[in-house]
Structure 1
Amino acid sequence: MNKELQNKSPIYEALEKYKKMRVVPFDVPGHKRGQGNKELTDFLGEKCLTVDVNSMKPLDNLCHPVSVIKEAESLAADAFGAKHAFFMVNGTSSAVQAMVMAACKRGDKIIMPRNVHRSAINALVVCGAVPVYVNPGVNKELGIPLGMSIHDVKKAIDENPDAKAILINNPTYYGICSPLKAITELAHEHKMLVLVDEAHGTHFYFNEDLPASGMSVGADMAAVSMHKTGGSLTQSSFLLINNELSKGYIRQIINLTQTTSASYLLMSSLDISRKNLALNGQEIFANVVKMAEYARKEINKIGGLYAFGRELINGDTVYDFDTTKLSIHTRDIGLAGIEVYDILRDDYGIQIEFGDIGNILAIISVGDKPLAIERLISSLSEIKRLYCKDKAGMFDHEYINPSVAMTPQEAFYTDKKSVLMKDSEGSICSEFVMCYPPGIPILAPGERITKEILDYIAYAKEKGCFLTGTQDINIEYINIVI
C-alpha cells in the first residue's frame, strides 16, 4: 500500500469542488439540492442534500468510470491489495451475486458451504448455476455452523472436477474462519476460481493480527462490506478482483444489476472510509480487538453466558477466529439468543446485531467506545440475574444439513402450490425461509422439507425470530414444487 497516495479522496474532493461551482440544476434528482423537499432537508441536512447529485462529466459515472471514480477505485485496490476494486452501491449482496455470475453460467457447478448468505443462493436462482454444498462443521455445544473442512472441500473437488468455482465465507457471522489459504491453493490446482464472501471481514485488510484476507492468500474475487465494519454508509461495499480476471467483463456483470443512478453519498463514504482505514486501520482495529477481548473476558465472569473466542480454533473447521466478533452463547441461562436480543433493545436501549436460537452477536467496530462496552456488559449481567431459568426443553442446535433435490433456479421457477407449513413435510421447497438477520436460509429453493426443519421454524417463530423469505408474510404457508 502506498500511504502517500492513500491520503487522497478523489470523489469527495470532486464533490466539494462541484459545490463551489454553484451550478443551477436542471437534472435529477428532483429535490434540486434539497430545495424541493424542506422536511427531508431539515432531517438529513442541507450539506447532505447538496451532494446528492446525478452522474455528470465533472463527477464521472460509476457504470463507466474514466476520471475521479476511476482514480478512487485505483486507490481502493491499492489499499486492499487487489488488482482492481469496484465501488458497489447495491450492497454486498450485489457484490456476492456479481462474483457468482461472473464465475458461472447456467449449468456450471459451484462449490460452496450451505451456510452462505441468501445473496449467494439468489445468484444461483438468477444465473442457473448448480450448487455443490459442503456442509460446514458444527459445534454441537454452541449449536453453530463452523467453517469448511479442507478434507470435505477436497472430497467435493474430487467428486466435481468440472466445478468452475468455490465460494468461501471469511468469516462467518459468528467470526469463524475456514482454512482460506489451503482451500484457495487447492482450488487453483484444479483450475477453479476462488470467491470470498467477506461481508464481515473488511477489517482483515487493515490489521496484521487479524485473520488472513481473501486478497492476501491469492483469491480471485472478494465481496467486502465496507459499511459493516469499515465505517462507510449502509449499502456501500467493494468488489475486489485479483489475478488474471478481466476488469471489463466483471464490470459488465456488475452493470447487469447495479443501478445506473449511483448515489454519490454512498460513493464518497466509501472513498473517505477507505482513506481512514488505509491511514489509521492498524491502530483502529487494534483498539477494536482490545475492546472486544475485554468484553469477552468480563462477560465470561458473569457465569452462564459464554462469549466464545480463539479457544475454538482447531486448525480446520475453525482455522482462525475473528476476535472483533462478540458472539455470546445464551442457552445456559435458559434464554434463546433472540430473547436476550429483545430484552437488550426493549428494556436497556441496546441494539445488537442479531439473536438466534442460542446465541447473540454484538458487532464491535470503528465507532464503538469503552463506555458503550461497559453498558453492554452490565446489562447482560443484570439480564442473567433477573431472567435466568432452567434450560430444559430448549432447542439445542442451529444448523440442519439440507437434502437437495433440485437446483435453486429450477425449483424457484417451476410450477408450485402454496400449502400450510405444517402440511409440507416431504415436499420440495420452492422459496426461501430464513431468520433475518443473519439471512442464512433455513430452507432454500430445491431442498426437501423435513420434520426437523419444520420443528426448527416453529421454535424460531415461538421465540420471536424475524422470519422472512416466503410469499406469505405470516410464514404460515409455504410454496412447494408440484
Structure 2
Amino acid sequence: MTKLMHESAPIHDALIQYRNTRIVSFDVPGHKQGKGNTMLRDFLGDKCLSVDVNSMKPLDNLNHPTSVIKEAEELAADAFNCDRAFFMVGGTSSSVQGMIMSVCKEGDKIIMPRNVHRSAISAIILSGSIPVYVSPGISKNLGIPLGMSLKDVEKAINENPDAKAVFVNNPTYYGICSDLKSIIDLAHKNNMLVLVDEAHGTHFYFGENLPPAAMHLGADMSAVSVHKTGGSLTQSSLLLANTERVNPDYVRTIINLTQTTSGSYLLLSSLDIARKNLALNGREIFSRILELSEYARNEINSIGGYYAFSREIINGDSIYDFDRTKLSVHTLDIGLAGIEVYDMLRDDYSIQLEFGDLANFLAIISVGDTYFAIERLVSALAEIKRTHAKNKANMIDHEYISPVVKVSPKTAFYSKKKKVELKNSIGQISGESIMCYPPGIPILAPGEMITKESIDYILYSKEKGCLLTGVEDMNIEHINILDA
C-alpha cells in the first residue's frame, strides 16, 4: 500500500461519521453517549462517550469484519509488513493465547522458555498442551533471565521432534533479544511453527538501528502490544501472522472463542489511529526515543552505583541483541533492590516506573517524554543513592528459578487440591501460579515442584515489597498443592 493510503483511518472515520449523524440510540451501551451517566460524562468527556458504541452495520463487527475493521486490519498488516493483522481488545495476553491455542491442541508439545508471561501459561492450561521448557539462563551480574540460546533450542527440537511450535520472548522485559532468525530457520527446517511474544517490540517494525522484527524475519505469528510502545490505548493489541504455514481463518475462529463480542470501539479506533501515526511518523518517533534513552542511560551511569546496561552485554547467543529504547537499570551495587528504588521514586518523588524487581528497574521511554523529565529522574536517583545507599550483602541476585515440572499445567490446575502454609509446602506440587507483577513471569506454575529456593524467593520478594499475584490467598501465606 502507498503512504497516501496510510493517511486514512477507517474505524476512526466511520466513528466520526456516526457521531455526526446524531443517531437516536435504542441499543447498548446503556449510558447512551453519556446522557445516562453524567458522572462518567464529566470524567471522560462527551467526545469519548459519543463513540463508545455497539457493533452495527456501518461500524462493522470485530468477530466477523467485512468493512471498516477489515480495512483497518489490512492497513495494519501492510504497516507491519506481514500477511494478516487481527485487532485484539483483550490485551496482548489474548494475542498470546490466540497464537498458542491456534497451533496446539490437547497433548501437543510446544518448546518455550520458562520465563514466559503468565498469559502463555494460561494458554497451556486452556489448550492442554505440554510445555517443553528451555532454560533462558541467568546473567549473574545483572540478575536477569537471558534470551534463548540457539544450541538449547536445537537440543529441545532434537529431543522433541513432534513439537508443534517454538515460542520465543523477543524482546524480554529487559530488552534482551535472542537469535530469532536462526531459531526461525531451525524450527521451520524441523516443520515447527515459530510464535513470538513481541509485546515490547512494536517499535522494531518502524524504527531504525533497532533489533529486527519477528514478522520481517519470517516468524509465523507475533503478539504485539501496540499500547506499550506504539501509542494506542491500554488493552489494545495486534496478533500478526504470516500465512505460508498458518490458516488465518482458523486463527480468527480460535480468537473468537475467548474474544468479547462487544469489542470496544475506543480501543479499536486507538489501534487504527496508532497504526496511521506509526506508518507516517514512526521513524522520527523512535529516533527521538533512542536519543532520549541514550541520554538517560549516560546520565544515570554517570551517577555511579547504578548500571543502565546496553549493547555492551551482547554475547552473540543468549544475548544476541539489545533493545536500546529499554532503560533497564541495575541497582544492587547501591544496596537496594530495584523494587525499593521503584517504590521510593513513586512515593517520594512522584515518578512512576514500569516495574522494579529484586535487582533492577525498568523505565519506559516514549515520544511523550522530555529531557526535563529525564533530568528529574536522574536527579531523584542521585538523591536516593546519597540518602539510602547501603551494603549489598545478603541480597538475592537473580530473577529466575529453574522449574522442576512434575505434571502438566492443565492436569495440575484442574486436579483436586488442598491449601497449606507456604513454609510447609516444600517438596509438594503446586496447583496454582505465583508471580511478581509486573513483569508477570511465574515463580511457580501449576504442576511444578515447590522447592526451598522458590519459597525463599517468594518470601524475599514479599519482604521487599513486590506485588505477588496468582494464588487464591490474597495475603500470600498459603498455596494450593495437589492432594495426592
The 3-state SS of whatever aligns with 1:343 is helix
Shift of 1:373: 1.0
The CA deviation string for residues 70-111 of structure 1, in whole angstroms up to 9 with x for no partner, is: 000000000001101000000000000000000100000000
The CA deviation string for residues 12-48 of structure 1, in whole angstroms up to 9 with x for no partner, is: 0000011111100000000000000000000000100
Q: Is the 8 A contact 2:106 2:128 kept in 1?
A: yes
The CA deviation string for residues 288-345 of structure 1, in whole angstroms up to 9 with x for no partner, is: 0110011111101101000011001111000000000000000110101110000000
Q: Which amino acid counterpart does residue 219 of structure 2 have in structure 1?
A: A
Pairing of 1:68-467 with structure 2 (within 5 A):
68-244=68-244, 245-467=246-468
Q: Is the 8 A contact 2:9 2:272 kept in 1?
A: yes
Task: Give distance in 2, aligned partners of 1:4 and 1:406.
Answer: 54
Q: Which amino acid counterpart does residue 123 of structure 1 have in structure 2?
A: A
Unaligned 5+ runs, structure 1: none
Q: Which amino acid counterpart does residue 251 of structure 2 have in structure 1?
A: I
Q: Is the 8 A contact 1:218 1:243 kept in 2?
A: no
- For these two proteins, the number of residue pairs brought into alignment is 482
The equivalent of 1:53 in structure 2 is 53
Task: Give distance in 2, aligned partners of 1:319 and 1:25.
Answer: 55
Instruction: Spell out structure 1 runs of 4+ moving beyond 6 A.
Output: none
Shift of 1:450: 0.4
Unaligned 5+ runs, structure 2: none
Q: Is the 8 A contact 2:235 2:267 kept in 1?
A: yes
Task: Give distance in 1, aligned partners of 2:190 and 2:6.
Answer: 36
Q: Is the 8 A contact 1:409 1:445 kept in 2?
A: yes
Task: Give distance in 1, aligned partners of 2:203 and 2:399.
Answer: 27
The equivalent of 1:11 in structure 2 is 11
Q: Is the 8 A contact 1:206 1:277 kept in 2?
A: yes
Q: Is the 8 A contact 1:138 1:145 kept in 2?
A: yes
Please report the TM-score for the alignment, with normalisation by the length of structure 1: 0.99
Shift of 1:6: 1.0
Task: Give distance in 1, aligned partners of 2:112 and 2:3.
Answer: 36
C-alpha RMSD of matched pairs (Å): 0.7
Task: Give distance in 2, aligned partners of 1:281 and 1:330.
Answer: 32
Q: Which amino acid counterpart does residue 443 of structure 1 have in structure 2?
A: L
Shift of 1:2: 2.8
Q: Is the 8 A contact 1:2 1:78 kept in 2?
A: no
The 3-state SS of whatever aligns with 2:51 is coil
Q: Is the 8 A contact 1:231 1:367 kept in 2?
A: no
Q: Is the 8 A contact 1:307 1:328 kept in 2?
A: yes
Shift of 1:112: 0.3
Q: Is the 8 A contact 1:304 1:332 kept in 2?
A: yes
The CA deviation string for residues 423-465 of structure 1, in whole angstroms up to 9 with x for no partner, is: 0000010100000000000000011100011000010000000
The 3-state SS of whatever aligns with 2:115 is coil
Shift of 1:137: 2.1
Q: Which amino acid counterpart does residue 250 of structure 1 have in structure 2?
A: V
Task: Give distance in 1, aligned partners of 2:366 and 2:77.
Answer: 22
Q: Is the 8 A contact 2:208 2:287 kept in 1?
A: no
Shift of 1:208: 2.8
Task: Give distance in 2, aligned partners of 1:185 and 1:305.
Answer: 38
Task: Give distance in 1, aligned partners of 2:298 and 2:400.
Answer: 27
Q: Which amino acid counterpart does residue 332 of structure 1 have in structure 2?
A: D
The 3-state SS of whatever aligns with 2:232 is coil
Shift of 1:393: 1.2
Shift of 1:398: 1.2
Q: Is the 8 A contact 1:97 1:122 kept in 2?
A: yes
Shift of 1:397: 1.3
Shift of 1:286: 0.7
Task: Give distance in 2, aligned partners of 1:473 and 1:292.
Answer: 37
Q: Which amino acid counterpart does residue 136 of structure 2 have in structure 1?
A: P
Shift of 1:4: 1.8
The 3-state SS of whatever aligns with 1:273 is helix
Please report the TM-score for the alignment, with normalisation by the length of structure 2: 0.99
